[in-house]
Structure 1
Amino acid sequence: MSTDKLILNGQTVADFMKEDMASKVAILKEKGIQPSLATILVGDDPSSATYVRMKGNACARLGVHSIKVVLSADTTTDELIQEINKLNDDPSVHGILLQHPVPNHIDERAAFDAISIEKDVDGVTTLGFALNAFGDAEFPSCTPQAIMRILDFYNIQIEGKHAVVIGRSPILGKPVSAMLLNRNATVTTCHSKTVNLEEIVKLGDIIIAAVGKPLFVKGDWIKPGAVVIDAGYNKGNVGDVDYEACFVPSAAITPVPGGVGPVTIATLIEHTIKSAYKLSENA
């Protein structure tokens, strides 16, 4: 990697991915197959509604059909699972996305695990998590996969490096830690109970911020030459990293917006197209 400052532009990565996806969609349509992604939104959280709309718009640009299932905030776990099972049984649906978070009264894990592994294009099921840990997931969690895509696109060395992941959620922190470990990085996973967090982050060659707190990671936490990946997105269009401060010591850094986000959405659509190919072959 060059010693010059490198801005890890996610839109550039996503655009590169879309070229390949567009050709695959064209091939599927020649076969009479319309790749289709179903998104389920429970309740009226405005941020979640925005994310679903963004994903729908991205699908439309690539010729992927988007099905929106909107359920009321008082939907029960059983009712949600019934809707998921309808989509599982619908051969025209190739991917299912349950928008996170769901209302507190819903058993989110039970709902996630109701999604068929063949249609778990967001990598949220327990089985998908286990397959990811073994390096065998067909559809890894989208944001972790996006992070790995960015690192690879910009030829950032992973093997032998010390990666520090801040956050341990089952759909981001934990799976990206497993992916990095599978690529022969030495991985430290930090969380809310970590003692001396700042000192641990200072040891990292690659820093993954996935904590959900705006501007949490400070510039003096970053050792000179580290690579900083900001997987957070908070109110005010800011990430988990204090970008201006962390820009100075880092060798490479993702912006927010325009970093991990576009690649996450592109990965979701890529998984849906791949699922359409696989399900059509098994039909």
Structure 2
Amino acid sequence: MTSMLKFIFFLFFFGIFIGSAQEKQNDHLMITESKYGFESTVSRLESVVKQNEALSLFAKIDHSANAENANLELNKASVLIFGNPKQGSLLIQKDQLAGLDLPLKMLVYNNADITEVTYCSINYLKSRFEFKGVRNLSKVKKGLKDMASKASGGKVKKSGKFKVDTHEGIISEISEFDFKTTYDRLITAIEENPNLKIFSEIDHFKNAEQVGVGLRSTRLIIFGNPKVGTPIMQENSRIALEFPVKFLVWRDEAGIVKISYNDPAFLAKRFKLTQNISQLETMKNALENLSKNAAKY
């Protein structure tokens, strides 16, 4: 009888352990409630990034200010894009498509009367990209948790589960041009559209070169249209973590140049969006048209 009880206990404990591991693997967002106001939290997070000599702050995007400029309203929300060039370059070296989700991001936003900080789980990135065997990811995970805690003064918790497969939700267009021509055509197309604004350009190849890491040509364009993005963020503030939208222009190991971007339908699924279908369709059509026009004769 005692042996049977021990066996049942073992199965129960093992089941809990396996369930917890599975939940951990499927966590896609980490979140913490701030003890401070919105402006103070953003300022604290920016200070934490700048005080770390290993980190570079690539961009700070004020979603609420962009919405106001488009004559729309949005709860306060700002996203900081930052990273460790060496760590990021090694990850992109492992899986070039990871350049679409790198550098890392943290979103500070108001949820009712509460200010929160959120960012992508490292486990989510591990599931979406080929990061098997990559060292120091546990250090990156701890580093992000410490940063969010320092900025918010609160404890970081898991929030929401979303199972993602390798490269899920990424659309790639093969270019008929070389890398520079493809990139220049894409930039020109965005700049010539009065509804679009480029917020940042990040040269992953150049950043890798500066830290002594070999990388094929890989560049990220961060841009958007607040009139389209704002209504989507009004439905779920946390999707502001993935806005503005991005194009990754890259040359693969076979020398083929591609333009890759996140499928808005994938983002809608991930953040459980059910409204603003027309805005999501507009966004998808714009991304598709821009990439095709830049990649084809």
TM above 0.5: no
Q: Which bin holds the TM-score, normalised by the shorter protein?
A: under 0.3
TM-score where L is the length of structure 2: 0.24
Q: Which has the larger radius of gyration?
A: 2
**Higher helix proportion (structure 1 or 2):** 2
Structure number with higher strand proportion? 2
